[in-house]
């Protein structure tokens, strides 16, 4: 683990050497990742839109024939949450209100009644052998989760901290839907707040991603290493696309 974190730090140092970015390039990068993260995060949850279709929906406002309305609404919702999440980077903190509002943006077009509201019903994760918290436990678990974020931030390397934030949030599973997407936004918010590159998780890695996350109920070593690899690969893509 130490070796990959050192490699990530070296890549981040190279990325930082190109800063500050001019306004045009910064806008280009933000838009590139809005499409990329929206596509990949939704695809991991079964959304059928391709990356090019996601781009058409978001940039042109055109619906894709034969694709479910819900898939379009998920794309628009994730893009709205992404736009808001960019405004939180300089805060160096993640609050409960931040989390609830990000979920509201993600989900209100699909289910306005439950957007930004902790679930009131029992939930399960298909394929997982571990039960999720009861609805009456969520409020206290989320308060505990929020209270530990700053300590995790101080005690762990930013990549490890981001992976742990992702894991802990998704294990609480506080909302009726959208928890996976929101956990990845929170992970990337932590990385950006600590001046690291985001981690984009491509659909092709879905099986490894889910299996390592499931294993992290007992030991989170594999999951943290998986997230570190995703950060490293996203860093390499960033350098290749924009500076080489």
Report residue 34: phi and psi, to 5°: -60, -45
Q: Is 173 an active-site residue?
A: yes
CA triplet 128, 133, 136: central angle to 5 degrees? 155
Of 140, 38, 151, give the one whose Cα is nearest residue 93: 151
Which three-class secondary structure state does DSSP give residue 108? coil
Out of 72, 166, 173, 217, pick the active-site residue.
Answer: 173
- Return d(Cα 138, Cα 119) in angstroms, integer: 8
Residue with tokens 């806008």: 27
Rounded distance between C-alpha atoms, residue 190 and residue 209, angstroms: 19
Query: CA-CA-CA-CA torsion for 105, 108, 114, 115, nearest 10 degrees?
Result: 10
Please identify every residue annotated as catalytic. Answer: 173
């Amino acid at each position: 683990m130490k070796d990959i974190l050192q490699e990530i730090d070296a890549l981040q140092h190279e990325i930082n050497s190109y800063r500050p970015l001019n306004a045009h390039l910064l806008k280009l990068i933000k838009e590139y990742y809005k499409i990329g993260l929206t596509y990949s995060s939704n695809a991991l949850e079964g959304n059928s839109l391709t990356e090019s279709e996601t781009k058409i929906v978001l940039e042109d406002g055109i619906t894709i024939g034969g694709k479910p309305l819900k898939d379009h609404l998920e794309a628009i919702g994730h893009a709205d949450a992404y736009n808001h999440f960019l405004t939180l980077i300089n805060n160096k903190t993640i609050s409960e209100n931040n989390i609830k509002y990000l979920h509201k943006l993600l989900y209100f077009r699909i289910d306005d009644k439950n957007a930004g509201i902790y679930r009131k019903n029992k939930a399960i994760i298909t394929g997982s052998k571990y039960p999720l918290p009861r609805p009456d436990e969520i409020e206290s678990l989320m308060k505990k989760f929020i209270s530990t974020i700053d300590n995790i931030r101080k005690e762990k390397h930013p990549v490890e901290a981001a992976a742990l934030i992702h894991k802990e949030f998704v294990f609480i599973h506080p909302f009726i839907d959208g928890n996976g997407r929101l956990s990845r936004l929170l992970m990337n918010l932590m990385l950006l707040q600590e001046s690291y590159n985001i981690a984009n998780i491509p659909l092709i890695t879905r099986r490894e991603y889910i299996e390592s996350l499931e294993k992290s109920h007992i030991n989170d070593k594999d999951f943290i290493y998986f997230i570190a690899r995703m950060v490293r690969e996203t860093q390499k893509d960033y350098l290749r696309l924009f500076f080489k």
